[in-house]
Amino acid sequence: MDRFQHYIDGAFEDGEGTFASIDPASGAPWAQMPLASPADVNRAVEAAHRAFGSAEWAGMTAMARGKLLFRLAELVRAAAPRLAALETRDTGKIIRETSAQIAYVADYYQYYAGLADKIEGAHLPIDKPDMEVWLRREPVGVVAAIVPWNSQLFLSAVKLGPALAAGCTVVLKASEDGPAPLLEFARLVHEAGFPAGVVNILTGGPEAGHTLSTHPKVAHIAFTGGPETARHIVRASAENLARTSLELGGKSPFIVFDDADLDSAANAQVSGIFAATGQSCVAGSRLLVQSGIKHDFLARLTAKAEAIAIGAPERMETEVGPLCTMRQRDRIALLIERSVAAGARVVTGGKVPDGPGFYFPPTILDCSDAPDAPALREEFFGPVLSVVSFEDEAEALSMANDTQFGLASGVFTRSLTRAHRMIRGIRAGVVWVNTYRAVSPIAPFGGHGLSGHGREGGLAAALDYTTIKTVWLRTSDDPIPDPFVMR
């Protein structure tokens, strides 16, 4: 089997333990991964802490940091085919998606390369005539970045890019599911020339995550994953009072009004729920369609879903590949079973297919008679769309906000005024109008409620990795009066 290593303090090394990584397309082990122990994590954090205070990193100009990030962007762009093939092999995500996404990841590092020397402080027009007061933005310290297996190079870039631009150092923990692309990415970090300890990359399970989250030298925890794990991280951060930024799950409403371009909306819905085999935090998993067009729109979606090419993820013609793990496939099957028991109707899909691998077909559930079905409440993280209808705009808005999540949403309508009303009313961190799943390094991304807090992308993310230092400078040459002499 292939063998991967951790990257700690500028060196590649084995973990104290190992585990086998499973190929989702075959269900067979294909690579040996290092398993980080608490001692491994501690060494990585200590290395990051030393690097943070070192003359080599702390004394580096912001422009020089930007040049390192730009070099990393070039290396990612050149290595995209190799990284994409690894991600496809280790997670089951289809090659046409990993290839496109990883090529775009390079743009994120390029964006933050340009931003590194534009993180500015401010001069305050203070109310004291003999004082100059200004604000410095300084890096917060060691960042613990914890990412899941899905879109891991992208989800790392939106943490590593701004953290490094701000001058922080990072310990990046890859998921124990499908960590190969991130462990390979460490070679690009090394080649780019970052000083030892500035970026450390390892993989491990809950024990490694707990050690990282509670470490006294970690100043900021940036996590992407599920709400339950986030609760453990927030509790753990009480030990070190580290800041947290949490990008969690979603149950995003995809709203289609009867005046929408139905062909465009159908294509966006298929992309929004079946791309990445539905394993996306912004998956448009709740379709809210106006009652007058429900039958027609559902027929369009069903035809498109049933025409999707399911197959080996490394083939360019494949449109939906396997889920990443067997436990995820089994969980989806159970949630569908519970939803049907609650009154949902399977329109298409819904059954685990025969054969090897962790495949699950594109599935549509009509939940019009099942308002409390899990399909409308819980994040499946798979290719399952739940459908309900609404009568008018007020009901659509009420349904859209009937969730504990608040990450993304989509609105399809030709009415500009209606679009603005929906934008105002939907409680979500992202509202896409007549499009879906558009992202950019320039635009902040994040949610609220069970979808977390904090933002990734844009200038906002870089500022989140800084702290403000207030500087007071007295400009008078006169001695400070004795405070105990009465005048």
In whole angstroms, give the CA distance from residue 434 to residue 426.
15
Mean pLDDT of 220-239: 95
Element (H, E) at 461: helix 458-464
In whole angstroms, give the CA distance from residue 402 to residue 393.
14
Strand 243-247: give its sheet, edge to edge: 11-13, 6-8, 199-203, 169-174, 142-146, 220-224, 243-247, 452-453
Burial class for 327, CB neighbours closer than 10 Å (0-12, 13-18, 19+):
exposed
Q: Is the dihedral of CA 366, 372, 376, 379 positive or negative?
A: negative
- Which pair of tokens denotes residue 134? 């200004």
pLDDT band for position 297 (cuts 50, 70, 90): very high
C-beta of residue 87 within 8 angstroms of C-beta of residue 181: yes
Return the amino acid letter for 373. Answer: A
CA distances, 337 to each of 195, 267, 384, 453 (Å): 52, 27, 12, 32
pLDDT at residue 164, rounded to an integer: 98
Q: List all residues 6 or more positions away from 186 whose beta carbon is below 8 Å from its beta carbon.
A: 6, 7, 12, 199, 201
Q: Is the dihedral of CA 256, 257, 261, 263 positive or negative?
A: positive
pLDDT band for position 174 (cuts 50, 70, 90): very high
Question: CATH 3.40.605.10 residue ranges in the chain?
Answer: 2-248+447-472
**Strands 220-224 vs 243-247: parallel, antiparallel or unpaired:** parallel
Mean pLDDT of 91-96: 96
pLDDT at residue 446, rounded to an integer: 95
Question: CATH 3.40.309.10 residue ranges in the chain?
Answer: 253-433
- Which pair of tokens denotes residue 478? 């006169």
Q: What is the pTM of this model?
A: 0.95
Pick the catalytic residue: 184, 247, 319, 456?
247
pLDDT band for position 106 (cuts 50, 70, 90): very high
Q: What percent of the chain has pLDDT over 70?
A: 100
How many helices (H) and strands (E) the chain has is answered by 15, 21
pLDDT band for position 304 (cuts 50, 70, 90): very high
Mean pLDDT of 150-165: 96
DSSP string, 211-241: HHHH-TT--EEEEES-HHHHHHHHHHTTTTT
pLDDT band for position 408 (cuts 50, 70, 90): very high
pLDDT band for position 99 (cuts 50, 70, 90): very high
Residue 487 has pLDDT above 90, yes or no: no
* Residue 247 bears catalytic tag: yes
pLDDT band for position 308 (cuts 50, 70, 90): very high
Q: Round to the nearest angstrom and report the end-to-end CA distance of the chain.
A: 84
Mean pLDDT of 356-377: 95
Number of neighbouring beta carbons within 10 Å of residue 183: 22
In whole angstroms, give the CA distance from residue 312 to residue 270.
19
Identify the architecture of domain 253-433 in CATH: 3-Layer(aba) Sandwich (3.40)
- Which pair of tokens denotes residue 349? 């899909």
Number of neighbouring beta carbons within 10 Å of residue 340: 16
C-beta of residue 251 within 8 angstroms of C-beta of residue 421: no
Burial class for 10, CB neighbours closer than 10 Å (0-12, 13-18, 19+):
middle
Return the amino acid letter for 244. Answer: T
Mean pLDDT of the chain: 96
**Residues 1-22: pLDDT tens digits?**
899 999 999 999 999 899 999 9
Residue 486 has pLDDT above 80, yes or no: no
Question: Does domain 2-248+447-472 sit in CATH 3.40.605.10?
Answer: yes
In whole angstroms, give the CA distance from residue 429 to residue 394.
20
CA 374 vs. chain centroid, Å, equals 24
Residue 39 has pLDDT above 80, yes or no: yes
**Residues 245-286: pLDDT tens digits?**
999 999 999 999 999 999 999 999 999 999 999 999 999 999
**Backbone Cα Rg of the chain:** 24
- Which pair of tokens denotes residue 178? 């499908």
